[in-house]
Homo-oligomer: A and B are copies of this chain.
Amino acid sequence: MEFQEQKAIYLQIAERIEENILTQKWIERIPAIRELALEFKVNPNTVARTYAYLESQGVIHIQRGVGYFVAKDAIAKILSLRKTIFIEKTVPEFFKMMTLLGLTLDDLKEISDEK
């Protein structure tokens, strides 16, 4: 896996994991720390940090001596959090910038259709 420079690696891994949960690629158990570290060519500590972060968010939970598992309401939690941020922050910024640049929604539709 390749990582952007701007964002912390452990957060990028967190996003990746959330994607796998949202797409139901991972339904119950998530890979062992060392396993994921190998796959992503990253230090195990980094993955451990990701897991600790996701656990603090309530997205995954640990079963001691066994491993980490997807929380039952993980998808709902992830979506709800993202929705809040999107509506409270992203959308207003988006429309503000659109107006500032003298663009309309119709322009954007065209642009997104071209791609």
Contact = CB atoms under 8 A, between A and B. Distances in A.
Interface of A: 9, 22, 43, 46, 56, 64-65, 79, 82-83, 86-87, 90-92, 94-95, 97-98, 100-101, 103, 105, 108, 111-112, 115
Contact of A97 (B43, B90, B97, B112): B90
A65 B45 CA distance: 11
Contacts of A64: 9
A43 B112 CA distance: 42
A20 B108 CA distance: 26
B65 A91 contact: no
Copies of this chain per assembly? 4
Nearest to A97: B86
Contact of A91 (B79, B86, B91, B111): B111
A34 to B, nearest CB: 18
A16 to B, nearest CB: 14
Contact of A83 (B22, B43, B101, B115): B101
A91 B91 CA distance: 11
Contacts of A115: 92
